[in-house]
Amino acid sequence: MPTLNDIAERHVVIDRRDGEYICFPDVVRAADDTLILVYNEQDKHVQPTRRVALSKTSRDNGKTWGDIVRMDSVNSHCPRVVKLADNEIIMSDASRVFFHSHDNGASWETRPVTGPRHDMLDRIIDLGDTTFLTTGHSHVGEEHPSIRQAPAEQMVYRSTDHCLTWEPLGPVATERNLVLCEASMVLLPDGRIACLMRENSFVYEPMYICLSDDKGGSWSAPTPTPLIGHRPTMGLTSDGRLLVTYRDLSPDMGTSAWVGTLDELMAGFMVQGRHENPANPTQTADGLHVKNEECSDSVVRYALRPITDPRSATATLEAEVRVDASDKNGCGLRLGTWWRMSSDSITPDGEGQEPISMEPGQFNTIRLEYAKGEVTLTINGEKRTTIEVDDDHADTRPILFGAPYPFEENSVDCTWKRVSLTVDEPSMDRQYVWNWNAEDGLPDQEALDRILELKNDRYAAPPDFGYSGWAELADGSFFCAHHIGGGQDEDYDPLHSAHVMGTWFSLKDFK
**Domains of the chain with bracketed CATH:** 8-141+155-164+230-270+452-510 (2.120.10.10), 277-443 (2.60.120.200)
| Residue 77 and residue 93 in contact, taking contact as beta carbons nearer than 8 Å | yes
| Residue 157 and residue 134 in contact, taking contact as beta carbons nearer than 8 Å | yes
> Checking DSSP bridges between strand 51-58 and strand 69-74, what pairing results, if any?
antiparallel
pLDDT in tens, the chain (511 residues): 799 999 999 999 999 999 999 999 999 999 999 999 999 999 999 999 999 999 999 999 999 999 999 998 888 999 999 999 999 999 999 889 999 999 999 999 999 999 999 999 999 999 988 999 999 999 998 999 999 999 999 999 999 999 999 999 999 999 999 999 999 999 999 999 999 999 999 999 999 999 999 999 999 999 999 999 999 999 999 999 999 999 999 999 999 999 999 999 999 999 999 999 999 999 999 999 999 999 878 999 999 999 999 999 999 999 999 999 999 999 999 999 999 999 999 999 998 899 999 999 999 999 999 999 999 999 999 999 999 999 999 999 999 999 998 789 999 999 999 999 999 999 999 999 999 999 999 999 999 999 999 999 999 999 999 999 999 999 999 999 999 999 999 999 999 999 999 999 999 999 8
Rounded distance between C-alpha atoms, residue 415 and residue 276, angstroms: 18
Strand partners of residue 28? 36
> Closest Cα partner for 203 from 393, 435, 457, 431?
393
> Closest Cα partner for 428 from 309, 286, 261, 279?
309
- The pLDDT, as a whole number, for residue 358 is 96
> Closest Cα partner for 55 from 120, 106, 16?
106
What's 482-497 look like in SS3?
EEECCCCCCCCCCCCC
294-308 residues labelled b (16+ CB within 10 A) or e (exposed): eeeebbbbbbbbbbb
Name, in order, each residue with C-beta under 8 angstroms of 511's C-beta and a sequence gap of 6 or more: 2
